[in-house]
Amino acid sequence: MTSLGDLHTTGPTAPPARATMVRVPGGTFLQGSPERTLDWLEAEGQAFPRDWFTDETPQRPVTLRDYLIDRYPVTVTEFADFVARTGYVTSAERAGGSMVYSDYWEIREGACWHRPAGYGSGVRNRGDHPVVHISYPDAEAYATWAGKRLPTESEWERAATGRAYRLWPWGDTWDPTRANTAEWTGGSLRGLDEWRKWWSGIHNAQGPVPQTTPVGAFSPHGDSPDGCADMTGNVYEWTSTTAHLYAPETRCDPTIHLVMGRFRAIRGGSWMNFRYQVRCAERLYGDPTGWSNFALGFRCADDAPESGAEHHGR
Amino acid sequence: MVTVLLSAGWAHRGQKTFACHEGTVRDVIREFVESYPHYRRRLLDDDGEPLTYYNVYLDGDLVEATDRSRVAAPADSTVAIVPPLAGG
């Protein structure tokens, strides 16, 4: 038996099964949001100005070959298997802590993938939850070990939205019961003040424990057209794509311009977010130099084998 | 004066730019917090020193955390404070 924090495994387990990957057919899709989505966001009265979202524009055609992408984010159990087999030490473990949210973001001593809320916390009974506190190098290391790679930002968006543009994987009508977001956990939250009150109640009772749910808990009604689960909410997910604008003339929040060429694209939003931050075309960017937080995970992708050929990934 | 720039994600009541006096990047951040204590928890540790989890750019160039006490922000420059999870 292997013991990792409070997580006990029965030794090396079977590698991630290929059956948990979805084959997305190649073709051309429109990546990004049309202007009408920005009009809608402005009309919704949500917290951010239009230039917070203009990095999603202009919508442009992107052509992809067939590829594979994990149906689910990588789980605690899968990551534990990787660590047990390789002895890998994550960025958070090397740094002695990672970021959690209390009343603001803070570095919590001891926080890492097997102690998601810091010292005294653990992952018992969370083996099927998405792993968190994963830095970009951590995600790349796992993907390489698994014989896979991280999805590009285009691959991620295509897997979430399908062949045609839609706000969320299931369509254009928001439904809080289809994904793990703050609006599912907290009910009808209106604005940041109500969000803070909701989170304060959880934090006071539990500490900064990630409100993740088992992967696939919202399947099938929350799945994308190609059958990917948890593309909306649960955990933020790394992609391999370096932050860039879709068109050089685009103007957005000045701090977003500063991370272009420096950060990596992150997709999907998380359990912390409202409906606006978990859309298929929504873009976030993460510092790839070792930073992580308690809502940040990943899933893997791979090139699709030719029809009839065996895939030789782990 | 030096302009301190925040992202919309951090801006309290929509204000994203602030004026501070010239000085090292560390001094600019500390003066900014002194003027706008609402940001203390985000930006300074318990000893009043700038936290290291966020990135700071001086006129578009990254200032490493270890250099913030050495690098000077001159008049008419912009000190941008960017969280490690940007946009959204």
* Per-residue pLDDT reduced to its tens digit, B65-84: 999 999 999 999 999 999 99
Token pair in block for residue A8: 């006990």
Check A259 against B7: CB less than 8 A apart.
no
The number of C-beta contacts closer than 8 angstroms across A and B is: 75
Q: What is the pLDDT of residues A172-192, one digit of tens each?
A: 999 999 999 999 988 877 788
Check B8 against A48: CB less than 8 A apart.
yes
Within a domain: A314: no
Q: DSSP string of B43-88?
A: HB-TTSPBPSSSEEEETTEEE-GGGTTT-EE-TT-EEEEE-SEEE-
Taking the C-alpha atoms of residue A84 and residue A185, their distance in angstroms, rounded to an integer, is: 33
Within a domain: A309: no
Q: DSSP string of A236-292?
A: EEEEEEEP--SSTT----HHHHHHTTTSEEEES--TT--GGGGSTT--EEE-TTT--
Give me the pLDDT at residue A4, please. Answer: 55
A286 vs B6, B8, B85: nearest CB: B85
Within a domain: A273: yes
Check whether A15 has a pLDDT greater than 50: no
Q: What is the pLDDT of residues A189-231, one digit of tens each?
A: 778 888 999 999 999 999 999 999 999 999 999 999 999 999 9
What pTM was computed for the model? Answer: 0.93
Position of tokens 């809502």?
A295
CATH topology of domain B2-82: Ubiquitin-like (UB roll) (3.10.20)
Within a domain: A267: yes
Within a domain: A117: yes
Token pair in block for residue A74: 């990588």
A51: closest CA among A250, A190, A242, A246? A250
Check B87 against A285: CB less than 8 A apart.
yes
Whether A282 and chain B come into contact, CB under 8 Å, resolves to yes
Could you tell me the residue ranges of all domains in chain B?
2-82
Taking the C-alpha atoms of residue A243 and residue A285, their distance in angstroms, rounded to an integer, is: 7
Whether A266 and chain B come into contact, CB under 8 Å, resolves to yes
Q: Percentage of residues in chain A with pLDDT exceeding 90?
A: 85
Q: Are A31 and A157 in contact (CB under 8 A)?
A: yes
Q: What is the pLDDT of residues A265-284, one digit of tens each?
A: 999 999 999 999 999 999 99
Top residue of B10, B66, B85 to mutate, by most chain A CBs within 10 Å, is: B85
> Would you call A67 helix, strand, or coil by DSSP?
strand
What Cα–Cα distance (Å) separates residue B28 from each residue in B41, B54, B77?
Answer: 16, 15, 11
- Which residues in chain B are closer than 8 Å to A287, comparing Cβ atoms? 55, 84-85
Distance of CA A112 to the CA centre of its chain: 17
Closest approach of chain B CAs to the CA of A157, in angstroms? Answer: 15
Whether A310 and chain B come into contact, CB under 8 Å, resolves to no
Q: Binning pLDDT at 50, 70 and 90, where does residue A7 land? A: low
Q: What is the pLDDT of residues A130-155, one digit of tens each?
A: 999 999 999 999 999 999 999 999 99
Taking the C-alpha atoms of residue A300 and residue A67, their distance in angstroms, rounded to an integer, is: 11
ipTM: 0.94
Taking the C-alpha atoms of residue A49 and residue A252, their distance in angstroms, rounded to an integer, is: 10
Within a domain: A308: no
Q: Are A127 and A31 in contact (CB under 8 A)?
A: no
Whether A132 and chain B come into contact, CB under 8 Å, resolves to no
Closest approach of chain A CAs to the CA of B5, in angstroms? Answer: 8
> Would you call A158 helix, strand, or coil by DSSP?
helix
Q: What is the pLDDT of residues B16-59, one digit of tens each?
A: 999 999 999 999 999 999 999 999 999 999 999 999 999 999 99
Closest approach of chain B CAs to the CA of A287, in angstroms? Answer: 5
Taking the C-alpha atoms of residue B75 and residue A80, their distance in angstroms, rounded to an integer, is: 51
Within a domain: A201: yes
Q: Are A181 and A271 in contact (CB under 8 A)?
A: yes
Whether B15 and chain A come into contact, CB under 8 Å, resolves to no
Distance of CA B71 to the CA centre of its chain: 13
A255 vs B14, B41, B82: nearest CB: B82
B85 vs A107, A254, A293: nearest CB: A293
Residue of A nearest to B84 (CA): A287
Q: How many domains does chain A have?
A: 1
Taking the C-alpha atoms of residue A202 and residue A181, their distance in angstroms, rounded to an integer, is: 14
Supply the CATH number for residue A195's domain. 3.90.1580.10
Check A253 against B87: CB less than 8 A apart.
yes
Taking the C-alpha atoms of residue A47 and residue B33, their distance in angstroms, rounded to an integer, is: 23
Within a domain: A74: yes
Domain that holds residue A196: 2-303
Give me the pLDDT at residue A313, please. Answer: 43
Where does chain A show beta strands of DSSP type E? 2-4, 7-9, 21-24, 27-31, 60-64, 67-70, 97-101, 105-109, 236-242, 264-267, 284-286, 296-297, 301-303
